[in-house]
A and B are shown apart, each in its own frame.
Chain A
Amino acid sequence: QQKVQQSPESLIVPEGGMASLNCTFSDRNSQYFWWYRQHSGEGPKALMSIFSNGDKKEGRFTAHLNKASLHVSLHIKDSQPSDSALYFCAVRVGTQVVGQLTFGRGTRLQVYA
Chain B
Amino acid sequence: DPKIIQKPKYLVAVTGSEKILICEQYLGHNAMYWYRQSAKKPLEFMFSYSYQKLMDNQTASSRFQPQSSKKNHLDLQITALKPDDSATYFCASSQRGNQDTQYFGPGTRLLVL
Of residues 88 through 108 on chain A, the ones whose CB sits less than 8 Å from some CB of chain B are 88, 90, 92, 94, 96-106
Instruction: Provide the bound-state CA to CA distance between A77 and B76, in Å.
Output: 40
* Pairwise interchain contact A45-B104, C-beta atoms closer than 8 A: yes
Indicate whether B102 reaches chain A with its CB closer than 8 angstroms. yes
Indicate whether A62 reaches chain B with its CB closer than 8 angstroms. no
Of residues 17 through 58 on chain B, the ones whose CB sits less than 8 Å from some CB of chain A are 31, 33, 35, 42-45, 48-50, 55-56, 58
Given contacts A43-B90, A43-B106, A100-B58, contact A94 B98 (CB under 8 A): yes
Inside 8 A of B97's CB, which chain A residues have their CB?
A: 97
- Interface size on B, as a range, is 20 to 34
By secondary structure, the B interface counts as strand
* Pairwise interchain contact A101-B98, C-beta atoms closer than 8 A: no
Indicate whether A61 reaches chain B with its CB closer than 8 angstroms. no
- Interface size on A, as a range, is 20 to 34
* B99: contacting residue among A4, A51, A105, A106, CB under 8 A: A51
Indicate whether A87 reaches chain B with its CB closer than 8 angstroms. no
By secondary structure, the A interface counts as loop
Given contacts A32-B98, A98-B31, A100-B33, contact A46 B48 (CB under 8 A): no
Contact code string A59-96 (vs B, CB < 8 Å = 1, else 0): 00000000000000000000000000000101010101
Instruction: Provide the bound-state CA to CA distance between A4 and B44, in Å.
Output: 12
The chain A residues found within 8 Å of chain B, CB to CB, are: 4, 31-32, 34, 36, 42-46, 49, 51, 88, 90, 92, 94, 96-106
